[in-house]
Amino acid sequence: MKLAYQRILLKLSGEALMGEDAYGINRATIDRIVAEIAAVVRQGVQVAVVIGGGNIFRGLAPGAIGMDRATADYMGMLATVMNALALQDAMRRVEVVSRVQSALNLEQVAEPYIRGKALRYLEEGKVVIFAAGTGNPFFTTDTAAALRGAEISAEVVLKATKVDGIYTDDPKKNPDARRYLRLTFEEAIVNNLKVMDATALTLCRDQNLPIGVFSIFKPGALMRVVRGEPEGTFVTN
């Protein structure tokens, strides 16, 4: 089978793990996502994952009102570590070997982020799960995905969402909304299309690192993307 990409950075939002729940991790949903990842790993694709923490932090949100922004961001980073461990455990159940690397020093539960080790793990066929964002407050996990994608020389950053691409308008509110097949970074930035935050978009643009946006809930969508088949929306220079 011909593959369009050999090394990808998959950006998973924490909300993708909730399924239909209000917050937390839905077991059936995480198993379904891991099955999609496992399928491409078994085709020889090197996969790194950056995961968000919104699903965990959402349950704490009422208590975070009025909290110092940096403190809240560090709490969010810890939420991403929880998600990374859950993702690793789900991968273990389907016999996909993975390693969690954290940008925060949490040696009892995760390795520290070391670029050289991450590259070696990828070359060995292991999935590398990057947790704790960049390790700095005020930076999103979108920015972490762009940064880690550039550091590991990923061929593409794939943002897995609940929506199958980027639309001219909210498709849930406007049935006439049209899905873009391709966009330039400048179009995404100027039109404020909410692909990723501006820092992440600019970093990907400057590093000539394409972004693909697709629905992780469409069966086989991730496999179609790595094969280079039409799926979702791609943002390039």
Q: Which amino acid is at 91?
A: M
Residue 137 assigned ligand-binding role: yes
Residue 119 annotated in ligand binding: no
In this prediction, residue 97 carries a pLDDT of 97
Is 126 assigned a ligand-binding role in the annotation? no
User: Which structural domains are found in the chain, ordered by start?
Assistant: 7-236 (3.40.1160.10)
- Residue 116 assigned as binding residue: no
To which residue do tokens 């394409």 refer?
A: 210
Say how far apart CA 113 and CA 168 lie, in whole Å: 37
| 26 is an annotated ligand-binding site residue | no
The verdict on whether residue 185 carries a ligand-binding annotation is no
pLDDT digits (tens, 9 = 90+) for 107-132: 999 999 999 999 999 999 999 999 99
Residue 143, marked binder: no
Q: In degrees to the nearest 10, what's the CA dihedral of 161, 165, 166, 171?
A: -90
Q: Is 168 part of any known ligand binding site?
A: no
78-92 pLDDT, tens digit per residue, is: 999 999 999 999 999
The sheet carrying 7-12 orders its strands as: 111-112, 98-102, 127-131, 46-51, 7-12, 156-161, 211-215, 233-236, 182-184
Proportion of the chain above pLDDT 70, given as a percent: 96
SS3 content of the chain, % helix, strand, coil (to 5): 40, 20, 40
Q: How far apart are CA 157 and CA 9, in angstroms?
A: 5
Going by C-alpha positions, the residue among 113, 109, 104, 127 that lies closest to residue 41 is 127
Whether pLDDT at 144 is above 90: yes
Check the annotation: does 136 bind a ligand: yes
Residue 13 marked ligand-binding:
yes
134 is in an annotated binding site: yes
- Confidence (pTM): 0.94
Distance of CA 136 to the CA centre of its chain: 18
